[in-house]
């Protein structure tokens, strides 16, 4: 009953479309214009993706830290490792650069050799005062040497902050206004004013300035993403149009298909703007994805139209049958593809949720566009010429299908042996997959800003902030001697870990106070003893600068302090070891009943977020399998058919996971998408094959072998066409400079290739081997929905 209603629905739909061609084209044009107007609302992400849900404990701790101390990732650092810097002309030019930076409203303050302050004791007033490091502008090499000697040997407080004593690298810290760090103002300032100043300085001095810091890295990385969107769209259009033309040998068919997917891309950008979603590293992939997924729709519809024309030459009947016979099959396959993406919607990750919503909406959108535009445009054109129909008899495709049929007919045991062997090897490989929690691993390795990251790791031990927040649970408890010693102990633990930079905290300030108290002698850069502490801290409290000196390290109540260090880009296992060691010492030094101490910072937040995403991956993939399993049950109403249909689609996923393990490709936010995307797309071939198989069974009076071979020959061509388009379409992502995007493209392409072979070889083999238990009228009941109408034996293939 449902099947008959479905056929009736599509027949009415075909009549409705063809009778209202002009109105539909006007409606599509109006929607396209409306969505094009939404482009002005598109925003590129200016903040780092938070992979954790808002109410996650780790996230709440980080937000608490930001509330107390403000944005941590607001420092841009510039450095020079060049002995010629220590000449009057270049040294003064370096200091002038700092002044120029400080003049911008986007900059909160600058810490450099130009405005460096020394802490000194005023014996008359019995208080500490800040005096400038440079009293007057140096004009001779001797004055420069005196200043640098003083800096490198007498001011340990600034060691690893302003300079590296061993390599004589000098750097400047530019603290951006915290209110603009996560806005487009930051991007505009860095790409225009900041980069222009640096370029001018390099041109005038001939020195190479190294630049880093999270605001700068995020800006340059985002710019790379923006640059790649256009590259991906052009590459996807170029590759898919070439393949399409190779198959159809028709400029007209190629241009119509390109027209459809270009409108689909316009809709994709428009929907992003309409929903006010930011363009992230994931949503940037949607426009080229729409091209890659939309072309197979065009292949099925145009192929069907040309088959009908070849059969009877009646254009009106051909177009009516394109919609009524292929519309349902294309809808079903697009729904399964959209389901693979839609499973990300149920995750708690905002990043994945937005990607899932926009991708699934646009997949249904491209289906509607192809179903409407292709028949309507062809209705205004003359019938295809004979030369445009030659591809329907291509001999090399026939050879490929014959080869597959021979394997299924003669080598089924070999197929099972190879499948089981691949399964076993892949499971071994799966256990070698690592999880990557590094926020910079996917960044383009050849970009200048990435090379600078490595420079700063070498010189100053990293750029990714790690924060330890110490709540003493009593006001003004931070400056108690016992608490300072405990924080110093944690600082010693940090310094023992080679991947962490020298810690910066109130402890450094108190040590510097003691050094100043003893007339700046470097040997006194240490915590005061209990006896010294009383009068040194008394002097510090009298100092007018005390509040300014402490505000970066201690909250306004004096109850909570921060210890800041920076981490190198290390593997996830090592990052977890470092976190474990720090936590172990925190628990030992700060008893839980007297202190509230926790680890936070961008580096740890990203690590936890990645691990959280892996759990979401398992959930979304399980949901995709469950949804598509239910879908198959509704279509075929047979539990055995569900199991058989899932095997050739799950095996490629396991093989891909094994390849990832052996190739050392880690699970990370970018590669996490591979499995749900590939599963949602690959199951389309299974639906086409099984629908044709069931149709052949009915036509051949339940003769199994004849039905399997007929279904294989009929569906093999279109499955091959679409799989090749998808393979090369996803391969365009391999031109990316982002490692994660390259891995995504390669892995999805490989998975879809495995899936095509599994659906054309393993699936028919299983049907033949299990013929008695599955191919009978009680198991294969009348379906709920006829994907391919009974009277239509050649719906999508020659």
pLDDT score of 310 more than 90: no
Mean pLDDT, to the nearest integer, of 629-635?
Answer: 73
Cα 339 to the chain's mean position, in Å? 20
Per-residue confidence at 395, pLDDT binned at 50, 70, 90? low
Strands 464-471 and 210-212: unpaired
The pLDDT tens digits for 224-236 are 877 777 788 888 8
Domain ranges of the chain: 2-48+220-431+606-774
- Specify the 3-state DSSP secondary structure of 741: helix
Backbone angles phi, psi at 250, to 5 degrees: -140, 120
Question: 153-167, 330-344, 388-402, 409-423: lowest mean pLDDT where?
Answer: 388-402
Q: Which helix (H) or strand (E) holds 418?
A: helix 412-430
Mean pLDDT, to the nearest integer, of 34-60?
Answer: 78
The pLDDT tens digits for 641-682 are 778 878 888 888 888 889 888 888 887 766 777 877 777 777
The pLDDT tens digits for 271-292 are 999 998 888 777 877 888 888 8
Backbone angles phi, psi at 346, to 5 degrees: -85, -5
Euclidean distance between CA atoms 269 and 36, whole angstroms: 8
Tell me the CA end-to-end span of the chain in Å, nearest whole number.
29
> How many residues are listed for the chain in this entry?
798
The pLDDT tens digits for 738-789 are 777 788 888 888 888 888 888 888 888 888 887 665 555 444 454 444 544 4
Euclidean distance between CA atoms 563 and 503, whole angstroms: 6
Secondary structure (DSSP) of 436-453? ---TTTTS-TTSHHHHHH
> 134 or 541, which is more confident?
134
pLDDT score of 263 more than 90: yes
- Its CATH architecture, for the domain 2-48+220-431+606-774, is Up-down Bundle (1.20)
Euclidean distance between CA atoms 349 and 609, whole angstroms: 9
Q: What is the pLDDT of residue 200?
A: 93
The pLDDT tens digits for 572-607 are 788 888 889 999 999 999 998 888 999 988 778 877
274 in Cβ contact with 755 (< 8 Å): no
Secondary structure (DSSP) of 663-704? HTPPB-TTGGGHHHHHHHHHHHHHHHHHHHHHHHHHHTTT-H
Q: What is the pLDDT of residue 412?
A: 83
pLDDT score of 797 more than 50: no
Q: What DSSP character marks residue 762? A: I
Per-residue confidence at 437, pLDDT binned at 50, 70, 90? low
Euclidean distance between CA atoms 512 and 527, whole angstroms: 8
- Specify the 3-state DSSP secondary structure of 206: coil
Q: What is the pLDDT of residue 541?
A: 58
Q: What is the pLDDT of residue 790?
A: 44
Q: What is the pLDDT of residue 608?
A: 79
Q: Which helix (H) or strand (E) holds 509?
A: helix 506-517
The pTM of this model reads 0.75
Mean pLDDT taken over the chain:
81
Q: What DSSP character marks residue 785? A: S
Mean pLDDT, to the nearest integer, of 107-123?
Answer: 84
Strands 278-279 and 43-44: parallel
Name the percent of the chain lying above pLDDT 70.
89
Question: 330-344, 367-381, 484-498, 613-627: lowest mean pLDDT where?
Answer: 613-627
295 in Cβ contact with 269 (< 8 Å): no
Question: 249-258, 524-533, 692-701: lowest mean pLDDT where?
Answer: 692-701
pLDDT score of 2 more than 50: no
Q: What DSSP character marks residue 112? A: S
- Specify the 3-state DSSP secondary structure of 638: coil
Q: What is the pLDDT of residue 741?
A: 78
Per-residue confidence at 333, pLDDT binned at 50, 70, 90? confident
pLDDT score of 791 more than 50: no
pLDDT score of 549 more than 70: no
Choose the most confident range, by mean pLDDT, from 45-54, 294-303, 605-614: 294-303
Q: What DSSP character marks residue 554? A: B
């Amino acid at each position: 009953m449902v099947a008959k209603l479905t056929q009736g629905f599509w027949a009415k739909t075909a009549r409705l479309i063809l009778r209202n061609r002009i109105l539909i084209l006007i409606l599509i044009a109006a929607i396209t214009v409306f969505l094009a107007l939404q482009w002005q609302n598109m925003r590129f992400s200016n903040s780092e993706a938070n992979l954790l849900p808002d109410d996650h404990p780790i996230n709440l701790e980080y937000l608490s830290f930001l509330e107390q101390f403000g944005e941590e990732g607001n420092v841009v650092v510039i450095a020079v490792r060049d002995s010629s810097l220590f000449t009057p002309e270049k040294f003064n030019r370096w200091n002038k650069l700092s002044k120029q930076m400080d003049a911008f409203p986007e900059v909160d303050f600058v810490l450099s050799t130009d405005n460096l302050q020394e802490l000194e004791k005023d014996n008359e007033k019995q208080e500490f005062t800040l005096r400038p490091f440079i009293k007057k502008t140096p004009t001779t090499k001797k004055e420069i040497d005196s200043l640098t000697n003083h800096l490198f040997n007498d001011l340990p407080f600034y060691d690893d902050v302003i300079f590296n004593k061993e390599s004589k690298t000098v750097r400047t810290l530019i603290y951006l206004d915290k209110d603009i760090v996560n806005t487009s103002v930051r991007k505009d300032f860095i790409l225009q004013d900041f980069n222009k100043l640096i370029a001018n300085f390099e041109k005038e001095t001939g020195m190479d300035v190294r630049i880093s810091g999270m605001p700068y890295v995020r800006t340059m990385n985002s710019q790379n993403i923006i640059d790649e969107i256009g590259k991906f769209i052009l590459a996807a259009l170029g590759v898919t149009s070439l393949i399409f033309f190779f198959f159809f040998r028709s400029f007209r068919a190629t241009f119509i298909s390109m027209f459809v997917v270009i409108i689909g891309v316009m809709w994709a950008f428009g929907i992003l703007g309409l929903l006010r979603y930011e363009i992230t590293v994931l949503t940037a992939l949607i426009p080229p994805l729409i091209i890659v997924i939309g072309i197979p729709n065009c292949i099925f519809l145009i192929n069907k139209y040309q088959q009908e024309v070849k059969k009877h030459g009646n254009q009106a009947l051909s177009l009516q049958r394109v919609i009524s016979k292929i519309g349902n099959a294309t809808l079903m396959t697009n729904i399964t593809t959209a389901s693979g993406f839609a499973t990300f919607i149920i995750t708690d990750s905002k990043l994945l949720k937005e990607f899932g919503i926009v991708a699934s909406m646009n997949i249904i959108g491209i289906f509607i566009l192809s179903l409407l535009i292709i028949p309507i445009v062809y209705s205004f054109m003359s019938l295809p010429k004979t030369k445009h129909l030659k591809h329907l008899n291509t001999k090399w495709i026939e050879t490929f299908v014959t080869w597959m049929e021979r394997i299924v007919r003669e080598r089924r045991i070999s197929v099972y042996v190879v499948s089981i062997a691949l399964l076993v090897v892949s499971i071994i490989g799966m256990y070698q997959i690592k999880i990557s929690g590094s926020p910079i691993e996917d960044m383009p390795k050849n970009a200048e800003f990435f090379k600078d990251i490595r420079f700063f790791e070498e010189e100053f031990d990293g750029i990714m902030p790690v924060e330890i927040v110490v709540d003493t649970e009593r006001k003004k408890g931070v400056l108690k001697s016992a608490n300072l010693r405990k924080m110093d102990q944690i600082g010693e633990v940090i310094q023992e870990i080679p991947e962490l930079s020298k810690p910066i905290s109130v402890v450094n300030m108190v040590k510097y106070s003691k050094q100043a108290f003893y007339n700046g002698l470097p040997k006194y850069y240490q915590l005061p003893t209990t006896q010294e502490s009383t009068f040194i801290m008394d002097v510090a409290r009298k100092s007018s600068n005390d509040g300014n000196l402490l505000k970066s390290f201690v909250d306004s109540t004096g109850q909570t302090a921060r210890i800041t260090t920076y981490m190198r880009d290390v593997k996830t296992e090592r990052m977890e070891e470092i976190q474990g060691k720090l936590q172990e010492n925190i628990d030992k030094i700060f008893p839980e009943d007297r202190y509230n101490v926790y680890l936070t910072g961008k580096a740890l937040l990203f690590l936890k977020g990645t691990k959280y995403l892996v759990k979401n991956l398992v959930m979304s993939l399980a949901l995709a399998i469950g949804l598509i399993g239910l879908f198959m049950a509704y279509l075929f109403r047979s539990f055995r058919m569900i199991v058989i249909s899932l095997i050739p689609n799950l095996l490629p996923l396991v093989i891909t996971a094994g390849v990832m393990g052996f190739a050392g490709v880690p699970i990370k936010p970018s590669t996490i998408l591979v499995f749900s995307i590939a599963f949602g797309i690959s199951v389309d071939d299974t639906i086409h094959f099984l629908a044709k198989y069931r149709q052949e069974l009915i036509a051949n009076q339940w003769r199994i072998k004849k039905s399997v071979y007929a279904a294989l020959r009929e569906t093999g061509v279109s499955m091959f066409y679409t799989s090749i388009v998808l393979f090369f379409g996803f391969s365009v992502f391999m031109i990316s400079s982002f490692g994660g995007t390259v891995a995504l493209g390669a892995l999805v392409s490989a998975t879809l290739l495995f899936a095509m072979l599994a659906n054309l070889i393993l699936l028919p083999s299983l049907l033949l081997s299990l013929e008695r238990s599955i191919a009978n009228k009680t198991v294969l009941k009348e379906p709920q929905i006829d994907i391919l109408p009974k009277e239509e034996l050649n719906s999508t293939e020659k």
